Structure 1
Amino acid sequence: MTSAEPLWGPAALQAGLHVAGLTTWQQDGFTLFDYTVETGPRAGQTVKVGLQAAPDFPATPPGGPHVNPRLGHPHGAVHDSALGTEWEYWSRPAANWAADRSVRGYLRHLRTLFAQLDEGAAL
């Protein structure tokens, strides 16, 4: 593979996160990274986010984020995570993916999700 060939799947997700200035690591098929919440009641808090890229990423977005610590989400659709008991899965599809199939677009989606958190959500 040469650098001129496009990346797909987890490699493309990791590369995009690195371009965004994030350090990633792998665990159980997930790409994990520390994410500092930018807006909303949790602004400044650092959480861990786990994303699972489809083999055809960026054509298909990652599923909703896996989040550690468990914060809950006011719009519901929060489930146990395959990453362990400290994690939860937010079933929140990436908004507007068809218009922007990029890591930057997915990071905007994360920013929106974290901005929606309630002040009263458990730590």
Structure 2
Amino acid sequence: MTDGQPLWGPAALHAGLLAAGYTPQHTTTSDSVPYLVFDYTVETGPRAGTALRIGLQAPADFPVTPPGGPQVSPRIGHPEGAVHPSPLGSEWEYWSRPATNWAADRSTRGYLRHLRTLLAQLEPDPGGTA
């Protein structure tokens, strides 16, 4: 914001993703729920190098409240389960994974650390392509 006020809600998450080197795009679900969607490459673990799309719904009070679990495309599953259909479409899935340790780091950086941890837990690609 140009008036010196701190960013809040989706604008704060958007700015944090930009600062982290991502290019988030605004999108909405069929029922008009806003999301930020960005390209993401898995950094560590058996699927390192795998290209994904991540969708995050930023709460209006972010960073007090973290985004919910990530929306992931393509649908690759998670070994600990709690994977559900996504409102972003059939090529997406929702991982019900609350951000751990949010009270210690209420920032986009803290959420990205949570995301890295989730993605490092993935099992190797059964097709052997990633």
The TM-score with structure 2 as length reference comes to 0.90
Alpha-carbon distance between aligned partners in 1 of 2:86 and 2:3, rounded to the nearest angstrom: 34
- Count the aligned residue pairs: 123
Alpha-carbon distance between aligned partners in 2 of 1:3 and 1:110, rounded to the nearest angstrom: 32
Number of the residue aligned with 1:109: 114
Question: Any gaps of 5 or more consecutive residues in structure 2?
Answer: 29-33
Q: CA deviation at 1:3?
A: 4.5
Number of the residue aligned with 1:80: 85
**Hey, which bits of structure 1, 4+ residues long, moved more than 2 A?**
120-123
Number of the residue aligned with 2:94: 89
Number of the residue aligned with 1:118: 123
Q: Secondary structure at the match of 2:97?
A: coil
- Which shifted more, 20-29 or 2-11? 2-11
Number of the residue aligned with 1:24: 24
Higher strand share: 1
Number of the residue aligned with 2:4: 4
Number of the residue aligned with 2:55: 50
For residues 3 and 21 of structure 1, do their structure 2 counterparts lie closer, same or farther at Cα, with a shift above 3 Å needed? farther
Alpha-carbon distance between aligned partners in 2 of 1:63 and 1:93, rounded to the nearest angstrom: 6
Question: Any gaps of 5 or more consecutive residues in structure 1?
Answer: none
Number of the residue aligned with 2:76: 71
Structure 2: which amino acid aligns with 1:6? P
Q: Is the 8 A contact 1:72 1:121 kept in 2?
A: no
Q: Is the 8 A contact 2:56 2:71 kept in 1?
A: yes
- Which shifted more, 103-112 or 1-10? 1-10
Q: CA deviation at 1:2?
A: 2.9
Alpha-carbon distance between aligned partners in 2 of 1:10 and 1:121, rounded to the nearest angstrom: 36
The TM-score with structure 1 as length reference comes to 0.95
Alpha-carbon distance between aligned partners in 1 of 2:115 and 2:13, rounded to the nearest angstrom: 14
